Structure 1
C-alpha cells in the first residue's frame, strides 16, 4: 500500500463529497512581513496597527488576501495537485478579519463536474470554507479548476455545472465588527479620495509595473503551502516552464492598485475572477481598475466600491479589456470583480 499522495485526478471526485483539508495553519507576524516583502502593498490598515485601531480594528489584522492564500493553499493537495489551471472564483466573502495567532482550517464540498471534450481532463467545482480556532467562518468561496484525468478511458461523470451568483449583493457584504471610518486619516492613508469621488465607468491606470521572477512567486506559493506541481516542477508542464500561481498575480495587482485606490482599505468580497492567460517569470505585470458600482453600508463612514481589477502583461494605456469580437484583449492576465470598503 502506497504511503504517498499522488493527488486526485478528475475521476476521483464525486458530487456532494466533503473534503476536510489537512494541516491547520497559524497566522504570524511573519506572514505580514513576508507579504510586504513579496508584494508592493502599502494599504494603511494592514501596514499600521495604529491606523487599524483608529478605524476600530484591534487587534491589527493582516491583509485580507493573506487569509485567502492560506485557506486556498490548504485545498491544493486534495483539489488541484494535478491541475492544468485554476480557472475562476465566485461568491467569495470575507467574514472575519484575520489577526496573528489565528489558526485557519479549510474544508471543501464538490458541487460540480464537467469532463472536457478532449477526454483528457475535466473541470471540478468546489465550495470551500475556512474557519478559525473559534470555529468562526473567516471566508468562503467557490472556485473551478481544470484537472487531469488519470486515464482517458475512465467514463465521464454526469455533467453538473452549479449556478453561481454573478456578484455578491452589497446588502450581503460582511462588515467587520467595530469598523468606523468617521475619523479616517486621509493623510496617513496616502490619498484624499472618498466613495463619492469615484464614478461608475471610470477607469484608473495604476501606472506602476512589477516584473515577475521565479524566486518570488515560488517563495509566495510555498509560504501559502500551495503544493501544485506546475508552480515548482519544470517537468510538470510540456514547455518546461514554472506557471505562476494565479493568486500571486491577484496580490500583485491588488498591491499595484494602491496608486489611485489607496483608500480601498479592505476587500469585502470577490464577485468573480478569471485567470485569462498564464503568467511566467520575466513577464512584467501592470494593472488598471474600472469602477462598476458603489453602495452604502451600515457601518459609520464606510461605503462599498465595486471594482474590476485587470492585470496585464505589459502596459496597456488604452485599458482595453475585450476586443470588438468580445474576446479578452491580448495581454490580459487577470479579470477580477470585487467589493472594497472605502470612506464616504
Structure 2
C-alpha cells in the first residue's frame, strides 16, 4: 500500500462529502511582522496593540487576510493540489478575530461539481470553515477551483452549480465584540476620512504599485503552507512559469488600498472575488477601489463600507474592468467585492 498521495483529482470528489483538513496551525506572535514584511500593510488596528485597545479590543488581532490565508492553506492538499487555477470566492464572512496563540483548523464541504467540456478538468465548489482551538468558527467562505482529471474516462458527475447570494447582507455582518470607534484616533490611523465622506459610485485610485518577486511569493506560499503544484513546480504548467498565489495578489492590493482607505480597518465579509488573469513574478500590481454601499452597524461609531477592489498589472485607468465582449481586460488580475468596518 502506497504511503504517498498524488492528491485528489476531479473524479475523486463527491457532492456533500466533508473534508477534514490536516495539520492545525498555531498563530505565532511573529506572524504580524512576517505579514507586513511581505505586504506594505499599514492599517493601524493591526499594527498597534494600543490603538486596538483604544478601539475596544483586548489587543491587536492578526490581519483578517492572514487568518484567511492560514485557513486556505489547510485546504490546499485536499482541494487544489492538482488545480489548474483557483477561480473565485463568495459568501464569505469573518466571524471572530484571530489572536496570536490561537490554533486554527479547517473543514470543507463539497457543494458543487461540474465537468468542463474538454473532459480534462472540472470545477469543484467547496464551503470552507476555519475554527480556533475553542471550536469557534472564525471564517466561513465558498471557493471554486478548476481541478485536473486523472482518469479521462471517468464518468462526469451530474452537474451541480451552487447558487450564491450576490453579497452578504449588511445585517449579517459580524462586528467583533467590544469594537468601538466612538473615540477613534484619526491622527494615529493616518487619515481623516469617515464612512460618511465616501459615496456609492466613488472610485479611488490607490496610486502606488508593487512589483512581484519570486522570492516573496515563495516565502508567502510556504508561510501559508500552500502546497498547490502550480506555485512551486515549474513543470506543473505548460509555460514553465510559477503561478503567483491569488491570495498573494489579494493581500498586496489590500495593502495598497491604504492610500485612500486607511480607515477601512477590518474586513468582515468577502462577497465575491475572481482571479481574472494570472500573475507572475515581475508583474507590477496596482489597485483601485469603487465604493458600492455604506451601512450602519449596532456597534458604537462603527459603519460598514462595501468596496470593490481591483488589482491590475501595471497602472491602468481606474474604473476600467471589462472589454466590450464582457471578458476581463487582460491586465486585470483581481476583482474583489468585500465589506470592511470603518468609523461612522
State the alpha-carbon separation in 2 of the partners of residues 290 and 236 from structure 1.
36
| 1:23 aligned residue | 23
| 1:251 aligned residue | 251
Superposition pairs for residues 105-120 of structure 1, below 5 Å? 105-120=105-120
Superposition pairs for residues 1-344 of structure 1, below 5 Å? 1-344=1-344
1:318–1:295 CA distance, 2 compared to 1 (3 A):
closer
State the alpha-carbon separation in 2 of the partners of residues 53 and 197 from structure 1.
25
Shift of 1:330: 2.8
Contact 2:291 2:307 in 1 (8 A): yes
Partner SS for 2:66: helix
Unaligned runs of 5+ in 1: none
Contact 2:17 2:110 in 1 (8 A): yes
Contact 2:277 2:330 in 1 (8 A): no
Shift of 1:5: 1.6
State the alpha-carbon separation in 2 of the partners of residues 112 and 276 from structure 1.
21
CA deviation string 1:305-343 (max 9, x = no partner): 000000000101343012233221231000000000000
Shift of 1:30: 1.5
State the alpha-carbon separation in 2 of the partners of residues 59 and 343 from structure 1.
18
State the alpha-carbon separation in 2 of the partners of residues 5 and 43 from structure 1.
41
Partner SS for 1:326: coil
CA deviation string 1:206-254 (max 9, x = no partner): 0000000111011001001010010011111111100000000000000
Q: CA RMSD in A?
A: 0.7
Shift of 1:49: 0.6
State the alpha-carbon separation in 1 of the partners of residues 262 and 192 from structure 2.
9
Contact 2:10 2:147 in 1 (8 A): yes
Q: TM-score, with normalisation over the residues of structure 1?
A: 0.99
CA deviation string 1:147-202 (max 9, x = no partner): 00002111101111111111000000000000000000000000000001001000
Q: TM-score, with normalisation over the residues of structure 2?
A: 0.99
Partner SS for 1:289: strand
State the alpha-carbon separation in 1 of the partners of residues 319 and 173 from structure 2.
28
State the alpha-carbon separation in 2 of the partners of residues 19 and 318 from structure 1.
40
1:287–1:187 CA distance, 2 compared to 1 (3 A):
same
Partner SS for 1:171: helix
State the alpha-carbon separation in 2 of the partners of residues 325 and 9 from structure 1.
32
State the alpha-carbon separation in 2 of the partners of residues 67 and 309 from structure 1.
19
Unaligned runs of 5+ in 2: none
Shift of 1:302: 0.2
